[in-house]
């Protein structure tokens, strides 16, 4: 395989973007990535989108987005893996460049989730769960993650304050992110007293409904050097799946697909967990970040919540997690999340994270973990400054 680098990144301000259309949001982020990369053409484009059909009534995104980006006749396609659609788009773009099929590829993600009612958004998101055995019986994702949180608390003694510590930390980081949907700080008391959604999860444990897009440009290391760009290499990529329904898993306090995907990425990168300086992980709910950090191997089983409470995952902690603010503060336009994680990893590796979010000890290796549903699919990528 050829060595692959990320040479361009783009993201727009996330939130409830009533004044912008689905295609406008995408093109805004895509043009930002092209301008950042300084490339004069694309060979192909991979788009991550969970459910354009249900959220805005639009499918056939390859044709639509290539046309409105001014790239008519470009090889463009859409991929889907629920909330991991963005991570999957990045993996496919990486494979395309590494294999030699294309030299310059855009991986982008998009979702516009606020054009439907709250019930409509819940219905669309629930398509990522098991329709017959979970959704038919009334399960929603807050409910499924509440089951995981309850099991984790029972098995390991994880506490309410540990969940709140994740929210407080991520909102602190997100308060410095100019692209975040909710760039404000919260206190432990505010999280603990917020509206109950599905016990023990409260509204401030949950990521929001979001409109947004993100895009990155991948090319060969040789082309990156000619462009005069910092060499941020993609050195590891892992992809794995698990049973879509929680009741089919032997242990719902861990995420096996995340563990397997990470093992694959570590093997490709020839790295170990101790080599990773920081990570963007899928904190769709506060309990998700805790379980993901354990499943990746950053902390032993049952110790992720304690690590968050002690500040070990903060900007100045021994292992910073979600320097962007994560899904919790930055937002979660489901198809775009995985690509936005790569945007943040690249910023940190370049040393350009805004407004005080830049890690004081300049990182050399970063990880992004993006998952779909309640962990039925996971993508893990490792990037390194060459």
- Are the CB atoms for 213 and 26 separated by under 8 Å? yes
Residue 303 CA to its chain's centroid (Å): 22
Catalytic residue among 83, 92, 206, 239: 83
Q: What is the C-alpha to C-alpha distance for residues 64 and 43, in angstroms, rounded to an integer?
A: 17
User: Strands (DSSP E) along the chain, which ranges?
Assistant: 4-11, 44-48, 75-79, 104-112, 196-198, 201-202, 211-220, 232-241, 278-280, 365-372, 377-385
Helix 286-296 / helix 256-269 crossing angle, nearest 10 deg = 50
In the DSSP assignment, the letter for residue 137 is: G
Catalytic residue among 152, 171, 282, 332: 332
381 is catalytic: no
Q: Of 380, 374, 366, 375, nearest to 296 (Cα)?
A: 380
Q: What is the C-alpha to C-alpha distance for residues 208 and 344, in angstroms, rounded to an integer?
A: 19
Measured CA distances, 154 to 80, 119, 160, 175, 199 (Å) = 34, 31, 12, 33, 13
For the residues of 180-238, what is the DSSP string, one character each?
-SS-----HHHHHHSPEEETTEEGGGBPPP-EEEEEEEEEEHHHHHHHT---EEEEEEE
Q: What is the C-alpha to C-alpha distance for residues 103 and 224, in angstroms, rounded to an integer?
A: 10
Q: What is the C-alpha to C-alpha distance for residues 117 and 110, in angstroms, rounded to an integer?
A: 19
Q: Of 323, 318, 376, nearest to 346 (Cα)?
A: 323
**In 10 A of CB 143, how many CB atoms?**
18
Q: What is the C-alpha to C-alpha distance for residues 272 and 290, in angstroms, rounded to an integer?
A: 20
332 is catalytic: yes
Question: Which positions are annotated as active-site residues?
Answer: 83, 332
């Amino acid at each position: 395989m050829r060595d692959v680098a990320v040479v361009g990144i783009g993201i727009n301000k996330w939130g409830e973007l009533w004044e912008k259309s689905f295609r406008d949001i995408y093109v805004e982020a895509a043009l930002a990535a092209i301008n950042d990369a300084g490339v004069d053409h694309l060979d192909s484009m991979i788009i991550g989108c969970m459910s354009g059909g249900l959220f805005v009534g639009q499918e056939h995104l390859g044709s639509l987005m290539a046309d409105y980006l001014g790239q008519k006749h470009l090889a463009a396609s859409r991929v889907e893996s629920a909330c991991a659609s963005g991570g999957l788009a990045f993996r496919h773009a990486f494979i395309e460049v590494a294999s030699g099929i294309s030299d310059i590829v855009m991986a982008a993600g998009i979702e516009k989730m606020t054009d439907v009612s709250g019930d409509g958004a819940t219905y669309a998101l629930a398509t990522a769960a098991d329709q017959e055995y979970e959704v038919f019986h009334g399960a929603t994702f807050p409910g499924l993650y509440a089951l995981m949180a309850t099991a984790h608390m029972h098995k390991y003694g994880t506490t309410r304050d540990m969940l709140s510590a994740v929210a407080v930390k991520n909102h602190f980081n997100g308060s410095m992110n100019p692209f975040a949907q909710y760039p404000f700080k919260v206190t432990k008391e505010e999280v603990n007293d917020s509206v109950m959604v599905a016990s023990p999860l409260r509204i401030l444990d949950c990521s929001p409904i979001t409109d947004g897009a993100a895009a990155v440009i991948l090319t060969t290391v040789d082309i990156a050097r000619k462009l005069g760009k910092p060499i941020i290499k993609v050195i590891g990529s892992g992809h794995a799946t698990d049973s879509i329904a929680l009741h089919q898993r032997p242990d719902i306090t861990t995420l096996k697909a995340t563990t397997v995907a990470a093992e694959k990425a570590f093997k490709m990168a020839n790295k170990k967990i101790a080599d990773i300086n920081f990570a963007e992980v899928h904190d769709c709910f506060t309990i998700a970040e805790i379980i993901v950090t354990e499943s990746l191997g950053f902390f032993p089983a049952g110790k992720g919540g304690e690590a968050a409470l002690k500040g070990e995952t903060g900007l100045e902690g021994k292992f910073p997690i979600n320097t962007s603010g994560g899904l919790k503060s930055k937002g979660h336009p489901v198809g775009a999340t995985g690509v936005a994680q790569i945007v943040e990893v690249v910023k940190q590796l370049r040393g350009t994270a805004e407004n005080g979010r830049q890690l004081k000890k300049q990182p050399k290796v970063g990880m992004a973990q993006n998952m779909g549903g309640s962990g039925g699919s996971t993508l893990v990528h490792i990037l390194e400054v060459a």
